[in-house]
Structure 1
């Protein structure tokens, strides 16, 4: 372990694990462990899955699914915003191309 790493003890389903993490990232690791512990407890409470390893795998799969879903929603949101901006730019360019005072009809 390098000198800029720390060890942090986290608790998942009442079992302690000592994890190495970069110095300064302890709070993020603890928050991640708390989130994982909560997800694992939800699965354990459902009673459908038994065994620490199976519960951990199921929690990891559920969290991965959430992450992928959130990424897709973020991507779609960015695409929508870009389309709106593109539309506004097109409208502005169209207005800029039109003369402010059209010539009068001389007939």
Structure 2
């Protein structure tokens, strides 16, 4: 699993996080479907961490783009994007951490 560290965000910002899967794909393999994006609290307290998500994730070449909003100040979140590839036997998870100020 790849873990990316995103720059901090402010509560009021609307951002799009990009998860890069390029290094995980074999030659000719492509991203097919985002099967899930989960949000975990790594530090701090947020009773509803999924409220960080601002719509559905989309595939852009070798990247998955996930819009985010809001969040709770003082919380570090970990987002995990689960993606099925063109190889039916390969599902890749990429994680990213972001701190909300």
State the TM bucket, normalised to the shorter chain: under 0.3
Higher strand share: 2
Higher helix share: 1
TM-score normalised according to structure 2 size: 0.25
Structure number with higher relative contact order (C-alpha < 8 Å, ≥ 6 residues apart): 2
TM-score normalised according to structure 1 size: 0.24
Q: Which has the larger radius of gyration?
A: 1
